A and B are shown apart, each in its own frame.
Chain A
């Protein structure tokens, strides 16, 4: 733990410096709270509005996690189909790429019209925005397999399905985890966008509602929590990678 603090001390230093300058500027210039609240009052808001913030945080967190898991399942499925069949690749890949050029901000309100108000449209927005890096990275990983390893599998008597399960899937895992790290950051944005276009709960909704009421501290409080969610989930993915892909992180020992 102490080690961890020392390793990330530059990041903490920057945060402390920014908070200090920010606090001082607001104080010296006498900036009103509704325009730019000082960090101290944002912290106070997080403390005093604890239960309200927790409630909305849980909603947003649920959308992120469900949307991300949906993206993971769909992404791995598409990536596998693309790598197993040339026809599927030719048929699907262009549309998967094209799907990313459609602005999500346009799709999100349409989803609301099509499926309604609840959890589902937010989960879909999160999944739409985060499945792309998952598919692209996993396809790259599967295609990076050394053809000689495939030859090896066949000379050992392996079937195509065994090449897929014993070689292509495991060798694509480090790539998949790179994709997941990008995807998790994007899924936080996705959840907020999903809530902005229409919702009655969640941190995105809280921001939209608090701004016109000049409760700018609350907007900032939501931003702070969202950052923590993003960083926290990112760390969780990195931790899972160490567990599931220890061989790519284990260091080389010469003897």
Chain B
């Protein structure tokens, strides 16, 4: 394994078994991950391979049975609240305006409303939310809701972002637009990102490396390096190396489940 000393996130031998209707089900079976600082990696796998469990453990919401997660040397308790975790659903609070939703993380950390609004204000433009700050989430389109949820995740400036299928609720066209938007954003904010997805295109477009997982119990099957330099653009999906990489990954996933 390429467990470089200076990797930002270091995960070794993660195992997790859960109890489901009286049966013990093995979810994660010895996961090793090493992610460098400012690297974007994807975890790609069939549904039910334990991707969400993996993120819950990294975020500090769940404990592994064995193995260790090390982010900048932080232990379990202090990880909760310092790792940005964007779940599958946008989870905007319907009783808060867009503005009040995005500052939620600053608010629970005790920052004053005035100061949090100022910080939020400076981001609305690049997150395509200008003019909608005072609207309730139910007045927004799916893409805008997702961007608001994104802003809420990054506004507290965590070094690590965990993204759990962030665009799965969007239609194909909007998803593609959001991927391009995220690509630009990540180039700009330079975070260490772990993206979980089952969309092969999305994984290739966004990440530097792809961890391909087997179906339950989840194991790392292979690590693919994505051969595209940044900044990237939409045209790369037509290139030979893109198609080749995609078909190699797909043919493995095809045989799973």
Chain A interface (Cβ < 8 Å from any Cβ of B): 146, 148-149, 151-159, 162, 166-167, 170-171, 173, 245-248, 250, 252-255
- Could you tell me the distance in whole angstroms from the C-beta of A151 to the nearest C-beta in chain B? 6
Known: A247-B136, A250-B136, A252-B138. A153 touches B95 (CB 8 A): no
Indicate if the CB atoms of B108 and A171 lie closer than 8 Å. no
Known: A151-B61, A252-B139. A158 touches B108 (CB 8 A): yes
Question: Is B109's beta carbon under 8 Å from chain A?
Answer: yes
Known: A166-B104, A167-B93, A170-B95. A155 touches B139 (CB 8 A): no
Indicate if the CB atoms of B95 and A247 lie closer than 8 Å. yes
Chain B interface (Cβ < 8 Å from any Cβ of A): 56, 59-61, 80-85, 87, 89, 91, 93-96, 104-105, 107-109, 136, 138-141, 144, 152, 156
Known: A148-B87, A148-B89, A250-B136. A157 touches B109 (CB 8 A): yes
Which of B89, B93, B107 is the one whose CB lies under 8 Å from A170?
B93
Cα-based distance from A233 to B60 in the complex (angstroms): 48
Cα-based distance from A173 to B94 in the complex (angstroms): 12
Extra 18 A-B pairs, beta carbons < 8 Å, given A153-B108, A159-B108, A255-B144 = A151-B85, A152-B85, A153-B104, A154-B80, A155-B59, A155-B83, A155-B85, A156-B105, A157-B80, A162-B108, A166-B104, A166-B107, A167-B93, A170-B93, A247-B136, A250-B139, A252-B138, A254-B141
Closest to B104 in A: A156
Closest to B59 in A: A155
Indicate if the CB atoms of A166 and B108 lie closer than 8 Å. yes
Cα-based distance from A159 to B156 in the complex (angstroms): 16
Cα-based distance from A60 to B56 in the complex (angstroms): 56
Closest to B84 in A: A155
- Could you tell me the distance in whole angstroms from the C-beta of B58 to the nearest C-beta in chain A? 10
- Across-interface contacts of A170 in B (CB, < 8 A): 93, 95
Indicate if the CB atoms of A156 and B108 lie closer than 8 Å. yes
Closest to B108 in A: A158
Q: Kindly count the residue-residue contacts between A and B in the assembled complex, taking CB atoms under 8 Å apart.
A: 76
Cα-based distance from A156 to B94 in the complex (angstroms): 18
Indicate if the CB atoms of B91 and A146 lie closer than 8 Å. yes
Closest to A163 in B: B108
- Across-interface contacts of B105 in A (CB, < 8 A): 156-157
Lowest 10 A-B CB distances belong to which pairs? A157-B81, A156-B105, A155-B85, A158-B108, A170-B95, A253-B139, A247-B95, A247-B136, A252-B138, A152-B91
Which of A146, A245, A253 is the one whose CB lies under 8 Å from B95?
A245
Known: A148-B89, A162-B108, A166-B104. A155 touches B95 (CB 8 A): no
Indicate if the CB atoms of B82 and A157 lie closer than 8 Å. yes
Write 29 A-B pairs (CB below 8 A) sorted by A numbering: A146-B89, A148-B87, A148-B89, A148-B91, A149-B91, A151-B56, A151-B61, A151-B87, A153-B104, A154-B80, A155-B61, A155-B84, A156-B104, A156-B109, A157-B108, A157-B109, A157-B156, A158-B81, A159-B108, A166-B104, A166-B108, A171-B93, A245-B95, A247-B138, A248-B95, A250-B138, A252-B139, A255-B139, A255-B144
- Could you tell me the distance in whole angstroms from the C-beta of A65 to the nearest C-beta in chain B? 27
Question: Which has the most chain A C-beta neighbours within 10 Å: B80, B83, B84?
Answer: B80
- Across-interface contacts of A151 in B (CB, < 8 A): 56, 61, 85, 87
- Could you tell me the distance in whole angstroms from the C-beta of A197 to the nearest C-beta in chain B? 42
- Across-interface contacts of A155 in B (CB, < 8 A): 59-61, 80-81, 83-85
